[in-house]
Structure 1
Amino acid sequence: MATTLTGGNPHVIQLPTTPSSSPSEPHAIAQQWLTNLQIQLAHADSIDLGNLFHQESWWRDMLALDWDMRTLHTLTEIQDFLRKRQGASALSNFRLQDKGKFTPKWDQVVKGLSWVSSMFFFETAAGTGTGMLRLTQAADGRWKAYAIYTSLQALKGVEEPLGKRRPEGTTESMPGGLACGTWIERRERQKEFSDAEPTVLVVGAGQAGLNMGARLQNLGLSCLIVDKHERVGDNWRKRYRTLVTHDPAEFTHMAYLPFPQNWPQFTPKDKLGDWFEAYANIMELNVWTRTSVASAEYSDATGQWNVAVTRGNGSQRTLRPRHVVWCTGHSGEPRIPTFPGQSSFQGTVYHGSQHRDAAELNARGKKVVVVGTGNSGHDIAQNYYENGAEVTMLQRSGTYVITADKGVFMMHEGLHEDDGPPTEECDIVSESLPFPVQFALAVHGTKRFAEAEKETLDGLRRAGFQLDFGQDGAGIARAYYTAGGGYYIDVGCSKLIADDKIKVKHSPRGIDGFGLRELKLADGSLLPADIVVLATGYDNMRTTVRKVLGDKVADRCSDVWDLDNEGELRAMWRPSGHPGFWYFGGNLALCRIYSKFLALQIKAVETGLSKGTRHQERATKI
């Protein structure tokens, strides 16, 4: 059984082929394997995993073995890493999941690949964790690990105040009793940080900042969130009028507080903004709105920041946190190209990030060209069509399309769906495979989605819309994690294109320039336009850091997003390259999931479990 690399790309792999017979006792197989692993780990210096792992096995670890996110591939790498780390980490006390959906079972994953899988629990020197094992049968009949996942879920002695550990809430039970004030009096002082400095400054109060703040405070870390908008949630409210989330409700819960059962499947932007505002109040998050960062300097000597912020009333304050978490949106600054003749163009041209509503531009009867065919480009094109404009989408290269009513729900089958397993368990399972393996499995999923969506995709092809299923045909998974875009989750625009109500113009070499009332394309053709919307995407998140915090900070940070040599996302949710500075972003689900791991990393630094600077510097070398 082998997992091979193809095409010279370390993140394009071929899945193994395994025997197809179903074992009679998957629980016994999983238990025996886990017992044998514990026996090996008990002797850290002489670990020998040859009978437990294939030569092409994988181990993905989140903080259990290293205060970072690591993907190890091949028996040699896994064995060497465990020999180095097990002595300090002390993985032990393994226990299989004994109830629910993720108890040991045999899965026919895709054609030609089956495995025994199970969730399991463990302890480390630092805390407790949850993992997943996936065992495949070798030619000699032995069951060995194809993919193992370990994730630290809690630190010993740092229990979150959940369930039976919830605070009592009476004034007498609060530190200092009534002499220190009632709940509301304490909250006012806490929000203003009248008596102390925040340990963590979170910049941005969107889904990233709010999830982050909730996780940090539950670990006992004081946290201040600052946001430039007037209200929490305005980062969604102020987007274009017709925006709704493209992910379903069960996938997009916030940490600790799921949406109610009557919540719509896809959330309108203003409703989500109101939920964010309510979430901040319910979770007692310390948020300063109408506040922007003016400058920031870091002292290596003290391990502390000096951050000057300007508040809405014009006052300034210098904060001295030990950590800054950058939650300004993982896409960074808008990528706004300019073209010859653009200043002489007699129509309107703007970037997609500035779009609000086509009705504001009196669009009826006007010729509108939307440059770009990702999610925003499609939504904006549909908005203009519904306001009576003649719309053309300018497409330079192919786009992956998946429908919200079919493919998206197929992606979440068995996990984040109505009446599915608990969200916390789904989160573990969904992140438990290394990204290269996820991508290889996505090739099969993408084919299934395309069969279910054949009518939509064929209609797009007939209309001249070029489809691209991504490198290796891995579809949306690879597109999102490697490029952060290049796809459209269809909520109605595809039918308008297929019905020729929205035109498509393909221009592989792009735009040469602007005329007075038209775009000049590289192939020599002209495209008449009264309004041009540049739905051309965003730069790396590091560009926002450079713009706001300056070169000194940005130069020490790594670029963000895409995969590093191991197959983990660069700098996101993990060491950034700059001590005490962390990038955090992603969709609602990823912000819920990875806020736990980033909060644990920061808590580990603050408790002395992790030498944060050493691990920060390591990230720049990957």
Structure 2
Amino acid sequence: MSPSAVPDWDDTPIRPPNADEQIGWAGVPLSETLGYYGVIKRPQLPTNDRLGFKPDYASVDVNNLVSQFIVPFGKSVEQQDVNAIINHIAEDGYWKDVELLTWDIRTLTGHDNISAMLTERLAVTGIKNLRVSPYIPSSLEVLGEDLSFVLFHFEFVFAHGTGIGAARLSPIAARTGSAAELADISSWKLYSIGTAIETVDGWDAENGDKMRYQKAKVQDPLGRARTYRQLREDEREGRDGFQPTVVIVGAGHTGLTMAARFKVLGIPHLVIEKEDTAGYSWGSRYASLSLHGPTFTNHLPCLPYPQWFPTFLPAQQLSKFLQLYAEVMDLNIWTKTQLDGKGAVYDEKSGQWTISVTRGDGSKHVLHPKHLMIATGISGTLPNVPQVPGMSEFEQNGGLIVHSSRHKTDPAWKGKRCLVVGAATSAHDISYELVENGCEVTMIQRSATHVMSVDKSVRTLFKPRERTNRRDGLAADLMDQSNYLKQPFPVEYELLSRGQKIARDLDADLLQSLRDVGYRLHDGYHGGGAYSMFLFDQGGFYWDTGCCKLIAEKKIGLLHSEIEHFTKDGVVFKDGTSYQADVVVFATGYMNSKSAIQALIGDEMAKKCHERWEKGNAFFVGPEGESIINYCPLPQKGLYSMFHQFAFSRFHSARLALRIKAEELGIDVTPYGNKPLGPSNTAAGRAPR
């Protein structure tokens, strides 16, 4: 196929022809909604075109503006004057809340929705003493020649602890954007504001409460003179009547992060892991796997990585660190243990689960936690291996068929002909590894792929976060506060294309070299790159760590076809051409026909919790632009599901743990109601496989 026949930088290559009828709500154009999902309206950014003028941002004294704005705004909040608060917010502005005003993760859009939430929740929340954060400087945030915000962070106290926030101001009420107008705070409105819980009743999810929780010396509460090691062993093994308040299923980075929060907050916990070590899911993959997200964004709570660690951490090194993290943080983990999720029962009267677990030695244990958390990941555990005629004949004649999740390159394969089916991250990583081991490799690219370089684009776009946890940078928790509160996901989505324009310029030579050999490229939904696809599709992109050069130099062959059947020594494609192969690697993702709650506890519970996995909405993003499943209270009390990248898990694990701590302290954490959940059958209009 000629490269010119493939539309470039366009949604077309990743959008099915019948998208309006099959994906999302019928008749809703993709141009008006996020990703495939037809119920999340795309926001209108306050660009110069929309404002109707070019603001004189150079004249703005940011600190003076923020200090003037915060006084009347804070007074309105403290006095619970909803009308006055609304007057400070743009008509189509956003208020995102994480476990503070709403005891949930919510994004309210527009005056009516925000006003209704504030009217109901301000009185019980009791926010006071709202002030500019002394830790994060206010700034003029320039996001392009046509768009800037004044970004500031704030903190406050509320009825049960303290909170944090971040906000973006825009001169929406100005008429000309002159220096005189921009000096007047009445010209500015909040385009977005975010609030979140930071402490509850003196408890902090990063530091605990040393004054009340820790004693000067470790003592045996039962007076048996047990040493620290004996105390830890008895706690971990559940002796002496130990009963966890929280049971977490899964000891990957998400489950361990959550467990660490509970340890700090003094909440008894137990992690159930079916494999033999914590972090197994990372260490068990192909040997060359490295994280494509920079290490400085992936720090774990309480115990960050050493600064000398590689910028892109090898998965095996991460797995080792996770095992040590679990040990150092004194996390209670039962490995080689299975949960009988189908037998899990929640008693509404006692507020407890009854669950049965089977340990590696065959012993069965019945536990009664108040909270059950599923942290088994979003990628699924069932490899998607297409069933193609002739597979058995190929294998009987010495051929090897393997899925990327189980792939291990054998040095004895040198000189072997390897066919890799797929063209996203795993396919590229494995192809690169096979070439390094002397194999003859051909990749089958079945659909277009978004490509961005790690060494140039990723590092450039993540540059503002590179000094995280360093002397001249922000601490990870402060960086998270900014990243996850200054904007809800719909606004972030709308801004993604601006970063991708920078990436395209940086990667121009790389991308052209791929086009020259017929590699099919796309730029994500609405030009937003990988992250515009991640929450919806979870795949279809590759952050290049070297494989693209091998493809451009034709050291890795490239085909665009589908396998029709295997032969005794290779495959025949649907176009009639054939290929001889010794090894076929299916880098085709996971079946994901059952999502986390459904797979573990069953169909009825998944239905009750509105958990429906389907292509087009892998993270269960609801109409407000936030996940209706992830890190938030579910319709089934005492049940939680969690999955995401390191930084997201780091921030949201603290808020969710504080919510549970508040509940343990007897605080009413009933979520703010009327949460929109999307269509009643399947979120993207397609039944799950």
Task: Please confirm whether the aligned pair reaches a TM-score higher than 0.5, indicating the same fold.
Answer: yes
Q: Are positions 1:26 and 2:73 aligned together?
A: no
Deviation string for 1:282-317 (max 9, x for gaps)? 111111112121344122433322222111212111
Report SS of the residue matched to 1:483: coil
Deviation string for 1:188-245 (max 9, x for gaps)? 2111121221011111111111111000121121000121222223322221111122
Q: Are positions 1:261 and 2:310 aligned together?
A: no
Q: Which residue of 1 aligns with 2:16?
A: none
Q: Which residue of 1 aligns with 2:551?
A: 497
Q: Distance in 1 between matches of 2:153 and 2:392?
A: 60
Q: Distance in 2 between matches of 1:155 and 1:169?
A: 20
Q: Which residue of 2 aligns with 1:309?
A: 357
Aligned pair partner of 1:438 in 466, 478, 492:
492
Worse-superposed segment, 298-307 or 492-501: 298-307
How far the C-alpha of 1:594 sits from its partner, in A, is 1.9
| Residues 462, 616 of structure 1: alpha-carbon distance in 2 compared, 3 angstrom cutoff | farther
In structure 2, runs of 5+ residues without a counterpart are: 1-28, 34-39, 49-53, 176-180, 182-186, 613-617, 680-689
Q: Distance in 1 between matches of 2:577 and 2:314?
A: 39
Q: Distance in 1 between matches of 2:665 and 2:238?
A: 22
Aligned pair partner of 2:407 in 331, 344, 355:
355
User: Where do residues 156-167 of structure 1 align in structure 2 (5 Å cutoff)?
Assistant: 156-159=201-204, 162=207, 165=210
Q: Distance in 2 between matches of 1:410 and 1:75?
A: 37
Q: Distance in 2 between matches of 1:108 and 1:161?
A: 32
Q: Distance in 2 between matches of 1:146 and 1:519?
A: 56
Worse-superposed segment, 595-604 or 131-140: 595-604
Q: Which residue of 2 aligns with 1:448?
A: 502
User: Where do residues 481-492 of structure 1 align in structure 2 (5 Å cutoff)?
Assistant: 481-492=535-546
Report SS of the residue matched to 1:514: strand
Aligned pair partner of 2:511 in 438, 446, 457:
457
Aligned pair partner of 2:96 in 51, 60, 82:
60
Q: Which residue of 1 aligns with 2:385?
A: 336
Q: Distance in 1 between matches of 2:42 and 2:441?
A: 38
Does the 8 Å CA contact 2:133/2:154 hold for their aligned counterparts? yes
Q: Distance in 1 between matches of 2:667 and 2:204?
A: 16
Q: Are positions 1:252 and 2:274 aligned together?
A: no
Report SS of the residue matched to 1:488: strand
Looking at secondary structure, tell me which structure has more strand per residue.
1
| Residues 297, 621 of structure 1: alpha-carbon distance in 2 compared, 3 angstrom cutoff | farther
Q: Distance in 1 between matches of 2:373 and 2:256?
A: 11
Residue 595 of structure 1 aligns to which amino acid in structure 2?
S
Does the 8 Å CA contact 2:97/2:194 hold for their aligned counterparts? yes
Q: Which residue of 2 aligns with 1:571?
A: 629
Worse-superposed segment, 541-550 or 308-317: 541-550
Q: Which residue of 2 aligns with 1:424?
A: 477
Report SS of the residue matched to 1:482: coil
Does the 8 Å CA contact 2:259/2:331 hold for their aligned counterparts? yes
Deviation string for 1:401-423 (max 9, x for gaps)? 12221111122222243643211
Q: Distance in 1 between matches of 2:209 and 2:248?
A: 29
Q: Distance in 1 between matches of 2:43 and 2:519?
A: 29
Deviation string for 1:425-477 (max 9, x for gaps)? 11111112111111121101011011111121111111211111111100122
How far the C-alpha of 1:321 sits from its partner, in A, is 1.1
Q: Which residue of 1 aligns with 2:344?
A: 297
Aligned pair partner of 2:590 in 526, 538, 543:
538
Residue 131 of structure 1 aligns to which amino acid in structure 2?
G
| Residues 122, 527 of structure 1: alpha-carbon distance in 2 compared, 3 angstrom cutoff | farther
Q: Distance in 2 between matches of 1:616 and 1:437?
A: 23
Q: Distance in 1 between matches of 2:658 and 2:77?
A: 24
Aligned pair partner of 1:243 in 289, 300, 309:
289
Q: Which residue of 2 aligns with 1:16?
A: 46
Q: Which residue of 2 aligns with 1:390?
A: 440
Residue 375 of structure 2 aligns to which amino acid in structure 1?
C
Q: Which residue of 2 aligns with 1:287?
A: 333
Q: Which residue of 1 aligns with 2:580?
A: 528
Deviation string for 1:31-51 (max 9, x for gaps)? 232222223334547534453
| Residues 581, 16 of structure 1: alpha-carbon distance in 2 compared, 3 angstrom cutoff | same
Deviation string for 1:324-343 (max 9, x for gaps)? 11111221233333233434
Q: Which residue of 1 aligns with 2:523?
A: 469
Aligned pair partner of 2:194 in 121, 146, 149:
149
User: Where do residues 64-75 of structure 1 align in structure 2 (5 Å cutoff)?
Assistant: 64-75=100-111
Q: Are positions 1:583 and 2:635 aligned together?
A: no
Residue 60 of structure 1 aligns to which amino acid in structure 2?
K
Residue 324 of structure 1 aligns to which amino acid in structure 2?
L
Residue 20 of structure 1 aligns to which amino acid in structure 2?
P
Does the 8 Å CA contact 1:401/1:488 hold for their aligned counterparts? yes
| Residues 123, 219 of structure 1: alpha-carbon distance in 2 compared, 3 angstrom cutoff | same
Does the 8 Å CA contact 2:102/2:672 hold for their aligned counterparts? no
How far the C-alpha of 1:616 sits from its partner, in A, is 10
Does the 8 Å CA contact 1:203/1:226 hold for their aligned counterparts? yes
Does the 8 Å CA contact 2:132/2:152 hold for their aligned counterparts? yes
Does the 8 Å CA contact 2:296/2:465 hold for their aligned counterparts? no
Q: Which residue of 2 aligns with 1:366?
A: 416
Q: Distance in 1 between matches of 2:531 and 2:650?
A: 18
**Percentage of matched positions with identical amino acids:** 33
Does the 8 Å CA contact 1:20/1:112 hold for their aligned counterparts? no
Q: Distance in 1 between matches of 2:640 and 2:676?
A: 12
The runs of 4+ residues in structure 1 deviating greater than 6 Å are: 614-617
Report SS of the residue matched to 2:464: coil
Q: Distance in 2 between matches of 1:86 and 1:369?
A: 60
Q: Distance in 2 between matches of 1:514 and 1:343?
A: 9
Does the 8 Å CA contact 1:130/1:152 hold for their aligned counterparts? yes
Report SS of the residue matched to 2:340: strand
Worse-superposed segment, 9-18 or 138-147: 9-18
How far the C-alpha of 1:525 sits from its partner, in A, is 3.6
Structure with more relative contact order (C-alpha pairs < 8 Å, separation 6 or more): 2
Q: Which residue of 1 aligns with 2:166?
A: 132
Aligned pair partner of 1:84 in 112, 116, 120:
120
How far the C-alpha of 1:117 sits from its partner, in A, is 1.1
Report SS of the residue matched to 1:370: strand
Q: Which residue of 2 aligns with 1:7?
A: 31
Does the 8 Å CA contact 2:140/2:150 hold for their aligned counterparts? yes
Deviation string for 1:128-187 (max 9, x for gaps)? 11111110112334011111111111112434583983766654x636485453322221
Worse-superposed segment, 70-79 or 206-215: 70-79
| Residues 164, 257 of structure 1: alpha-carbon distance in 2 compared, 3 angstrom cutoff | same
Q: Distance in 2 between matches of 1:402 and 1:262?
A: 25
Worse-superposed segment, 16-25 or 469-478: 16-25
Residue 128 of structure 1 aligns to which amino acid in structure 2?
T
Does the 8 Å CA contact 1:331/1:541 hold for their aligned counterparts? no
Q: Distance in 2 between matches of 1:467 and 1:149?
A: 36
Q: Distance in 2 between matches of 1:258 and 1:392?
A: 40
Residue 154 of structure 2 aligns to which amino acid in structure 1?
F
Q: Distance in 1 between matches of 2:379 and 2:372?
A: 18
Q: Are positions 1:411 and 2:461 aligned together?
A: yes
| Residues 521, 569 of structure 1: alpha-carbon distance in 2 compared, 3 angstrom cutoff | farther
How far the C-alpha of 1:541 sits from its partner, in A, is 8.7
